[in-house]
Structure 1
Amino acid sequence: MPGGIRKLALTAHVASSVGWLGSVAAFLALAVAGLSGQDTERVRGAYAAMDVTGWYVIVPLAFASLLTGLVQSLGTAWGLFRHYWVLMKLVLTLVATFLLLLHMQVAHRVADAAARGTWSGAELGGMRAQLAFDAAAAVVVLLTTTALSVYKPRGITRHGWRMQQAQRTHRSDGAGLDAGAAARA
């Protein structure tokens, strides 16, 4: 990938990933406020905000993070299947995105009950607690993917090792070198 496009793709990936983390943190704050709040109107407002934030901010950012991460891995030397940390980020992102879509069904159901005003504070208590727990777990997962991006732990997959060996063999044979470099070698 040319340098300018690579930097644009990296910027898009970092922005969508950090945005996803930040919006999930805000969702967690709303879930805690909804779970522990005493004022009925404030609790209803928190669940309405969670529904809107989830569908119009968190879900699009999750898919943007996934898509831009794929572009980054396929368009750079890191590759998608060469390093364990990239593969782990992919798996965590796929699982988190899938679980997010399931989680949003619960968020929508609680927000709908809150909007109708037909529920008491104790009603849907299990779902309300689940919203807070799931959001806290999502923050941990997203912080883990962030740490993997920063620390890039060593470890190359079998596929990456085979590719590395093929490149070394290719270079040692003089293939891929221009005529001047081959003569110097």
Structure 2
Amino acid sequence: MSEAAAAHTSRRQVAHSSAPFLGPKLRKTVLVVHVLAGGTWIGVDVIVAVLVLVGRFSNSPGTAGLAYHALGTFALIPMLTSGLTCLGTGLLLGWGTRWGLVRYRWVLVKLVITVVLCVLIVAALAPGMPEVVAHGEALAAGAGSTADMSNLFFPPAVSLVSLSFATVLAVFKPWGKVRRRG
């Protein structure tokens, strides 16, 4: 092999080592999973909002109790699973495509939104769910409860607004590239 051919091969290997590693079929598969996970996350948030509203505004203690019990029992796992799936597939898409993780501002903002929401699920929402279940059980049993559930309005509202904003970013891709210092 001539020196010129060896140099060309070496340059091509270097260029390919920094190129995106997801081929078209795998990229599309990961993208579909990413979009489905995001849609699932939004859907779970809508269900959470409905359960919170039913629990708060129902005239029937049994219905309110059932709503709170369902919220405390079933909402966290699908919410966290869809959030972590969004995070994982988003990381794969960032590392494996031309968009990168920190190359474009919109990608970086989506990453921050996803990480913050996942942390909030674990750190802020999950610890209060046993109290929500107990409140629901007390209401359903007709015992009444003095627990304050007004803080439950914020998680689905914040999440729905944040995920809607992330969706808008994914569609319009604003702001351009992140400027590198130095």
Q: TM-score range by the shorter chain?
A: 0.7 to 0.9
Percent of pairs identical after alignment?
A: 28
Match of 1:105 in 2: 127
Amino acid at match of 1:77: R
Cα separation, partners in 2 of 1:7 and 1:39, compared to 1, 3 Å = same
Match of 2:170 in 1: 149
1:25-79, Cα deviation, whole Å (9 max, x unpaired): 1110110111111211111110122123322311111111111111111110000
Match of 2:31 in 1: 10
8 A contact 1:33–1:43 mirrored in 2: yes
8 A contact 2:76–2:121 mirrored in 1: no
Report deviation, 1:118: 7.9
Does residue 139 of structure 1 match 2:160? yes
Report deviation, 1:119: 5.7
1:55-107, Cα deviation, whole Å (9 max, x unpaired): 23111111111111111111100000100000000111111111112212223
Task: Please report the TM-score for the alignment, with normalisation by the length of structure 1.
Answer: 0.79
8 A contact 1:23–1:53 mirrored in 2: no
Which deviates further from its counterpart, 137-146 or 109-118?
A: 109-118
Q: Please provide the CA RMSD for this pair.
A: 1.8
For 2:164 and 2:83, how far apart are their aligned partners in 1?
A: 14
Match of 1:120 in 2: 144
Report deviation, 1:158: 2.2
Segments of 4+ in structure 1 off by > 4 A?
A: 116-119
Residue number among 103, 111, 126 corresponding to 1:90 in the alignment: 111
1:2-38, Cα deviation, whole Å (9 max, x unpaired): 1110000000100001110111011101101111112
Runs of at least 5 residues in structure 2 that lack an aligned partner in the other structure: 1-21
8 A contact 1:27–1:53 mirrored in 2: no
Task: Please report the TM-score for the alignment, with normalisation by the length of structure 2.
Answer: 0.80
Count, aligned residues: 158
| 3-state DSSP of counterpart to 2:100 | coil
For 2:134 and 2:96, how far apart are their aligned partners in 1?
A: 42
Report deviation, 1:136: 1.2
For 1:158 and 1:81, how far apart are their aligned partners in 2?
A: 10
Match of 2:13 in 1: none
Cα separation, partners in 2 of 1:4 and 1:39, compared to 1, 3 Å = same
Amino acid at match of 1:105: P
